[in-house]
Structure formats: structure tokens, C-alpha cells
Amino acid sequence: MSNQILVVVEHLKGNIEDITFEMLGKGKEISGSTGGELVALLMGSGVDGMASQLAIADKVIYVDDVNLAEYNPEAYGKTVSAVVTNIQPKMVMIGNTSMGMDIAGGVSVDQNMPFIAYVSGISADGNNVTSSLYGGKMNVDSSPSGDGLIISVVAGSFPADAGRADGSPDVETANAPDLSNLSLQFKQLIEPESGDVDITTQEILVSVGRGIQSDENLPMAEELAAKLGGAVSCSRPIVDNKWLSKTRQVGKSGLKVKPKLYLTLGISGAPEHIEGMKDADLIIAVNTDPNAPIFDYAHYGVVQDIFDLIPALNDKL
Ligand SMILES: Cc1cc2nc3c(=O)[nH]c(=O)nc-3n(C[C@H](O)[C@H](O)[C@H](O)COP(=O)(O)OP(=O)(O)OC[C@H]3O[C@@H](n4cnc5c(N)ncnc54)[C@H](O)[C@@H]3O)c2cc1C
């Protein structure tokens, strides 16, 4: 077992996702305190130019293969597993994202390595890991023993800026494993339909969650958004109920937003939602439950019934 920390780089349409930089920053802290090495694993086809953004790593392992050109859980999982077999890292960090959740379990079984999901905290020596479960309602501390550990990190847990560094890291090219007989094939990247308000460019978002109770109550949130000069966005249950279109959903399986003001109305603050809005300049949360996890992320919080607050705000504005 080496003293290396392997960070699996996640990228989409030419952009490295913030979760990668979060893990690189945290990985650097751990490798710094344990005298280890931070290694970034970059997979794709013709994406070697991205390595320059990973200069915080002591080394970048780059695997180029036509079967890695588009994200494919089977191809990516096999490649991560092959690299783990080669370098035997003491820790593998994967994003607790749609991609990471696809592949981490398979790599764990393949490598016979323990896997801790929903990680939101790691001690500086890497020996104590905190997982945030049940939408952030319960934290579980683990002190894994033995060699080798896979963790999937919840987006928003660590500062991304700590992992950003441009430069010329050492790049080692590695061959992909045999990816010729994949049972999964990439077909199509489905993006949100256009034609609606683009919530990613709005400076002010009034975001409604299940606390809004019914689509009949949406007009009061729309009135508030209009009076503030912004637009309405939402959590996933609102889209699942077909009260708003998918183009309004913020979060892991929705859109990432970075407005100047993000006002949440009846949103609990599940990690999948936080992933999409944690970078807003100012977060104000309204929720009747003082223990709602959203208050851990909000700059200002109001413990109040939205059906009292929204009409009062609308009157005032
Ligand atoms: C793979 C995966 C991807 C996901 N992707 C996303 C995603 O992209 N975006 C997303 O949002 N979720 C996503 N989810 C779902 C996520 O886990 C949560 O279930 C969801 O975010 C919860 O939405 P919510 O906060 O609106 O509802 P709830 O968790 O039910 O919270 C409702 C909140 O409203 C409060 N409330 C109730 N009544 C009032 C009132 N009158 N006044 C004030 N407060 C009130 C309650 O106290 C509660 O905190 C995903 C889940 C999975 C597994």
C-alpha cells in the first residue's frame, strides 16, 4: 500500500467540476500532514490540456481512450479500478455525485476496499471520517482501520478554492484497461429543455421547496420574486410533482446556480440541493424547523411559517 491519495477528476463538457477542486484541496491537506503524495486521475479522450488546472497535485495520471470520451460508468469504473490496482493508494476520493455514486461501489467490491459514502468531513490525518446521512439530519463518525479506503465526498463540504492551482504538474500517461466489450454504451447527453427562464444567469432567486405544499401557493412566491427583480427556482420534489419545469430545479440532478441572493422558502437543505446553490453570495433560509440542515449553510435564517412571511414581505415590497 502506497502513501498516496488518489482523487478521481470529474469533468463535463470541457469543465472540471468544483467537487474535484474540493477533494484536491482536502487531499493536499491530508497528504501534507502525513507526508504522502496527492495524485489526480484524469480520464477522457483528448482532454490532456485539463491537467494544467490540476497543478496542486504532486502527479496527474492521465488515461486517454476513445471509450472514455463520454462518461460511461462501466468504462470509468474499470479504469479507476485498474489505476487503484497499479498504485495501491491508501485513500481514493470520489465525488458523491451522480458519477461517483455510479462507480465507487463497484470499485470497492472489485478492490475489496471499504467504502464510506456521503463524506462531509475528514480529519487532517485522514483517519477520521464524518458522513452526513438522511439529508444532513444525522452525522456518523467512522475511524476506518486497515489498508485502503474509498470515500465519496458530498459537494460543498470543503472549499474548492483550496484545490485550484494552474501550472505544469507531472503528468504520467497510463493505458486504459480493456474497454472493448462494454455492456453499457453512451447514447445521449440529455440537457434541460430551453425556452424557460435561465435560472443560472439570475442574480436573485426565490427558491421554493416542499414546504410550499401545493402549486396553488406558487403565485405568492412568483409575486415575491418579481418584486425582488428575480425568478423562482425550486427543489426536486416541486419538479417531481410537475408544479414547475425541470429547468427551475437546483441541485445535483438539476442546475448549479450562483446568484447574488438565494432565498429558500420551505427547503430542508438536503446535500443534493446544497450541491447546486452553495456558492450563492448570500443565502437566506426560511423554515419552520429550527434544526433544518439548510440553516448550516444560510448566512441568515428565519424560523417562520412561509405562509405568514411571504404575504407580509409582498405587502412590504
Ligand atoms: C440522486 C439524487 C439526486 C437528487 N437531486 C436533487 C436535486 O437536484 N435537487 C434537489 O432539491 N433535491 C434532489 N434530490 C432530493 C433530495 O435528497 C431531497 O429529497 C430534496 O432536496 C428535498 O426537497 P425539499 O427540501 O423541498 O423537501 P423536504 O426535505 O421535505 O423539506 C421541506 C422543508 O419545508 C419545511 N416547511 C414545511 N412547511 C413549512 C412552512 N409552512 N413554512 C416554512 N417551512 C416549512 C420543513 O420544515 C422542511 O424542512 C436528489 C436525491 C437523489 C437521491
Question: CB atoms < 10 A from the CB of 268, how many?
Answer: 22
Phi, psi of 16 (to 5 degrees): -75, 130
**293 neighbors 278 (Cβ within 8 angstroms):** no
What average pLDDT does this structure show over 5-28? Answer: 96
Ligand 1 proximity of 211 Cβ (cutoff 6 Å): yes
Ligand 1 pocket check: which of 97, 217, 288, 296 to mutate, most ligand atoms within 8 Å of Cβ?
288
Residue 234 CA to ligand 1 centre (angstroms) = 9
**271 neighbors 297 (Cβ within 8 angstroms):** no
**261 neighbors 206 (Cβ within 8 angstroms):** no
Question: CB atoms < 10 A from the CB of 199, how many?
Answer: 24
Q: Tell me, what DSSP letter sits at residue 66? A: G
Residue 192 pLDDT: 63
Mean pLDDT computed over every residue of the chain? 94
Q: Which residue do the cell numbers 470509468 mark?
A: 76
Please check the confidence at residue 135 and state whether its pLDDT lies above 80: no
Residue 287 pLDDT: 98
List, for residues 163-218, the tens digit of each pLDDT value. Answer: 999 999 999 999 999 999 999 999 988 776 666 788 988 999 999 999 999 999 99
Identify which of 84, 65, 5, 73 has the alpha carbon closest to the alpha carbon of residue 40. 5
Find the angle CA(286)-CA(291)-CA(296) to the nearest 5 degrees: 70
Ligand 1 proximity of 157 Cβ (cutoff 6 Å): no
What are the distances in angstroms from CA 92 to CA 7, 82, 116, 146, 158? Answer: 6, 13, 10, 14, 16
The protein residue whose alpha carbon is closest to atom 9 in ligand 1 is: 251
The protein residue whose alpha carbon is closest to atom 29 in ligand 1 is: 268
Query: Counting every residue, how long is the chain?
Result: 317
Ligand 1 proximity of 136 Cβ (cutoff 6 Å): no
What is the distance between the alpha carbons of residues 51 and 74, in angstroms, rounded to a whole number? 23
Question: Which helix H or strand E contains 275, and what residues bound it?
Answer: helix 271-277
List, for residues 17-43, the tens digit of each pLDDT value. Answer: 989 999 999 999 999 999 999 999 999
Ligand 1 proximity of 67 Cβ (cutoff 6 Å): no
Ligand 1 proximity of 273 Cβ (cutoff 6 Å): yes
The protein residue whose alpha carbon is closest to atom 8 in ligand 1 is: 251
Residue 271 pLDDT: 87
Residue 232 pLDDT: 97
Question: In angstroms, what is the C-alpha Rg of the chain?
Answer: 21
Please check the confidence at residue 1 and state whether its pLDDT lies above 80: no
What is the distance between the alpha carbons of residues 310 and 149, in angstroms, rounded to a whole number? 47
What is the distance between the alpha carbons of residues 58 and 48, in angstroms, rounded to a whole number? 16
